[in-house]
Amino acid sequence: MPRETADGSAVPVTPTGESRLALVRRARKMYRELAELYPDAHCELNFTTPLELLVATILSAQCTDKRVNQVTPALFARYPDAEAYASARREELEELIRSTGFFRSKAGNLIGLAQALCEKHGGEVPGNLSDLVKLPGVGRKTANVLLGNAFDVPGITVDTHFGRLVRRFGWTGEQDPVKVEHEIAALFPPRDWTMLSHRVVWHGRRVCHARRPACGACGLARWCPSFGEGPTDEATAVKLLRMRSFA
């Protein structure tokens, strides 16, 4: 329920109880700090074309980016375009992607996706959300990865790390990924959306871990309403940091 001011006007309630303006200001301060902490943040899936990124993103479900990057060089060499995936022998494709997990369903998705690209888009990956989400195995998360990183179209990618952190930051209280996407998009200008997604994910992988965040070594601590969920002692927290690349 919205609160009311002295004059009776409604004030939207934010997850932390702060005003909407205060939330926007705090969120943007945190993002500026993230930009300082991770100036080189980027998509950690290796790709050179929109199709390669689309394939890698599908393979990354329930799998690490590092593992996907180990698999994709041979995969991309064997299947250089949508036509090659569409006509792939399923057993061969499954074997190439086996180590990514759920390889049977992923192989089916890749073949169905490629067939749809050939039938409806001339074998090319479309560069808009409405067409992308109609493709087999492609949801809003995957579509936003493609738009932001292959087409330079601003998009917010709500994966497990992103959703966990923005709730921990008090930027949203939503659990549904689409609602999270819309609420976070309203806090930042579109030009920031893609890099915001990368930097939040990098922070989640390196500092703000799910079970034991390194609160005492976190550059966002002064603005974070969840400070104290992990060790606040700096010496203890530093030992939890994982600053290596995940590519």
Of the candidates 129, 136, 81, 149, the one whose C-alpha atom is nearest the C-alpha of residue 110 is 136
Phi, psi dihedrals of residue 31, rounded to the nearest 5°: -70, -40
Question: Each residue of 9-19: b (16+ CB within 10 Å) or e?
Answer: eeeeebbeeee
Q: Which of the following is catalytic: 81, 159, 176, 179?
A: 159
Q: Is the dihedral of CA 187, 188, 193, 195 positive or negative?
A: negative
- What is the CA 197 to chain-centroid distance, rounded? 6
Q: Write out the two tokens for 64.
A: 């690490």
Q: Which of 65, 81, 106, 141 is catalytic?
A: 141
Tell me if residue 3 falls in helix, strand or coil. strand
Q: Catalytic annotation on 7?
A: no
Q: At what angle do helices 177-185 and 160-168 cross, to 10 degrees?
A: 60
Count Cα neighbours of 142 within 13 Å in the Cβ-side half-sphere.
Answer: 26
User: How far is CA 148 from its chain centroid?
Assistant: 10
141 carries an active-site annotation = yes
User: Which residues fall within 8 angstroms of residue 193, CB to CB, at 6 or more apart?
Assistant: 148, 154, 155, 156, 185
In angstroms, the CA 201 to CA 33 distance is 14
> Which sequence positions are flagged as catalytic?
141, 159
